[in-house]
Amino acid sequence: MKTSLMLFTLVLVLPFLLVSISKAQDVKGNGNVVKKTYSVSSFNRIELNGIYNTIIKQGNIESVEIETDENLQSYIKPEVTDKTLQIEQTEEVNFKESTRMNVYITFKSIDKLTNNGVGNLKTDGTVNMNALSVSCNGVGNLELDLNSSTLNLEMSSVGNIELKGAVTQGDFQISGVGNIDAEDMKVEKLRIESSGVGNAKVYVTGEIQPTVNGAGNIKCKGNPTVKNLKQDGIGKFKLD
């Protein structure tokens, strides 16, 4: 079983290892950290593709700030296409010894958040949504403080997830490597499927439909009604 887990992890991490050892040019930060502000057109989706940490917050404007070494600024650009804000590298380079690599995004409202990159993603304060879909496909941790009617979470990444807030209806699909701590997010009704490597802790007040196919456990607080429990992996579901 240990061999299977190692192979599973390797399949997830290998693409990022290949990027890091590619023949891309190495660029070293000059130590002079600056923050550059970009005005962007209206967007309702965010897609992250690169190597940086991202902090998002809700506000009355829409803007992007990039904080890094002065000579690295030109390699990261925001662009809005079809209402999707994309943060990408302008050239295929390897950042060597960057002093800081942070992206700050202010939005009015979004319905989809995708992280395909390498780096941590977190909210600055609580964000309020009608519905939000979150997809984590890269390497890094996610910290989300959210109030929403619905939350759809797909995790196939390597990293831990921490959730806070309140959600009426949630749907969590977990197939990555890492733990999910959602005990501080109260969910009225949750469907959760775990086929990855790592444990999940949730707080459900009404109804939970758990499926455990992977190597991690699901632990639930809140004393909800349990429906359609399926346990096919070595992990277990437990009411706490």
Q: Where are the domains of the chain?
A: 28-110, 123-233
Contacts 24+ apart (CB under 8 A), 95-100: 95/27, 95/29, 95/51, 96/26, 96/27, 96/28, 96/29, 97/28, 97/29, 98/28, 98/29, 98/68, 98/69, 98/72, 99/29, 99/31, 99/33, 99/68, 99/69, 100/33, 100/67, 100/68, 100/69
Q: How far is CA 202 from the centre of its chain?
A: 17
Distance CA 43, CA 178 (A): 30
pTM of the model: 0.87
The CATH class, in words, for 123-233 is: mainly beta
- One digit per residue, the tens of pLDDT, for the chain of length 240 reads 433 443 444 454 555 545 444 566 888 899 999 999 998 999 999 999 988 999 999 999 999 999 999 999 998 999 999 999 999 888 777 777 778 899 999 999 999 999 999 999 999 999 999 999 999 999 999 999 999 999 999 999 899 999 999 999 999 999 989 999 999 999 999 999 999 899 999 999 999 999 999 889 999 999 999 999 999 888 999 998
- Can 28-110 and 123-233 be said to share one CATH topology? yes
* Residue 104 phi, psi dihedral angles, 5° rounding: -110, 125
Distance CA 131, CA 170 (A): 10
Distance CA 134, CA 176 (A): 14
- What is the second-level CATH architecture of the domain 28-110? 3 Solenoid (2.160)
